Amino acid sequence: MIKQSPERSFKNFLILPSVIVLLCFLFVFFYGVYLSFTDLKLGKPTINFVGLKNYIYLWKNPLFWKSTKLTIYFTLVAVFVQALLGILLAKLFSTNVFFAKIFRPIILLPLVLPPMSVALMWTTMMNPERGVLNYFLGLFGIEPFMWISQYSTAMLSVIFIDVWTYTPFFTLIIYAGLLGVNQEMKEAAQEAGAGAWITFWKIELPFMMPYVLIAAVFRIIESFNQFDIFIGTTGGGPAKATTVYSIYAYIQSFQNLNFGRGTAILFVNWWLVLIGALITIKLYQIARNRVS
């Protein structure tokens, strides 16, 4: 039998609280997974283990597949646009242009607003008849736009809101990365006759990419789980146009009281988040190795 020194035992004792906290987290997660294999309905007195029944129901349900497409579409488009705008704004902020100085502190404002407030604010502004957005469009002779009130435009409108809210997050991270670009390399390239575009494309962008991708990991996780902006604007409508997983699970759990089915949707969502995050982390490692 191996006897531990008192010092080692004391160290083990010190990490015990962390282990307990970790176990609590894992318990909640696995309890949620267990619920997805039951017919738990709020109010009903009995809970039965139903195996894969909830998953089979989802597999056969067209709304589940529609929701899958919407969730992936929302995440990919929103994160891509945010990354693109984030790079442009970060590049702008790294210059000494007058607007850059003004907007550098202001750009962070959307990030500090509670997402539900953001949703309610945009819902009011996007009212097709009395919203301020259509008023401004009207000044330029543009016909009123339906924004979140029409099937064909609702998802794009929510993506627009998400982009407005979270582009500053990308900007902040990428700007920090941009500050770390080796100035000597840039100067050497310029002396060798490289123009601004070549310098950006060949030197700055590769340096920025790890930062873009690390920000993307966080945003992919959050976008798959985005709930507040959807519930505060469209609630999944009109006519299922924005019923992403989080909304679908909420409707099943809290409106239809079917917690078993709701947790099954969230468990599928968890897999999507995991796959999305792992792919992005792999890309991050490749980008980082290139820079190294």
Partner 1 sequence: MKKIKIFFSAILFSLISTIALADFDWKKYAGEKIVFAYDIHPYVDALVEKLPEFEALTGIKVDAQIFPDDVYWNKLNLEITTDSGAWDVAGTGVQPTWDTSVGNHNVDLSKFLNDPSMTSPDYDYNDIYPSLRSAMTWDIKGEEVVGNGNGVWGLPHSFENMNLMYRNDILGKHNIKPPKTLPELTATCKKLKQVEPGITPMALRGVNFWSSVHTAPASIAKSYGVVDYVMKDGKIADTGLDSKASIKFHKDYVAMVKECAAKSWPNDNWYQVVDALTSGNAAMAVDANMFGFWNNIKDPDGKNPSGKISFAPPPTAPGAKNFESNIWIWCITMPSASKKQGPAWYFMQWATSKKMVLDGAMMGKMVNPIRKSTWDSADWKKYANQPEFNNYYDTFMEVQDRAELFFTPRYGFGEAMNAWSVAMQEMVNGRPVEETLKELAGSIRAGI
Q: Which residues bind partner 1 (CB under 8 A)?
A: 41-46, 123, 127-130, 144, 146, 148-151, 233-240, 251, 254-258
Q: Which of 170, 153, 201 is nearest to 81 (CA)?
A: 170
- Closer by beta carbon to partner 1, 134 or else 280: 134
- Closer by beta carbon to partner 1, 6 or else 43: 43
Q: Which of 18, 20, 13, 16 is nearest to 5 (CA)?
A: 13
Rounded Cα distance between 52 and 70, Å, is 24
Helix %, strand %, coil % of the chain (to 5): 75, 0, 25
- Closer by beta carbon to partner 1, 3 or else 130: 130
- CB 23 → partner 1: shortest distance, Å? 23
DSSP string, 153-180: HHHHHHHHHHHHHHHHHHHHHHHHHHHT
- CB 126 → partner 1: shortest distance, Å? 8
- Closer by beta carbon to partner 1, 207 or else 259: 259
- CB 140 → partner 1: shortest distance, Å? 19
φ/ψ region of 197 (left if φ > 0, alpha if ψ in -120 to 50, else beta) reads: alpha
Q: Which residues is 38 bridged to in the sheet?
A: 49
Beta carbons of 145 and 102 less than 8 angstroms apart: no
- CB 226 → partner 1: shortest distance, Å? 18
- CB 193 → partner 1: shortest distance, Å? 56
- Closer by beta carbon to partner 1, 31 or else 151: 151
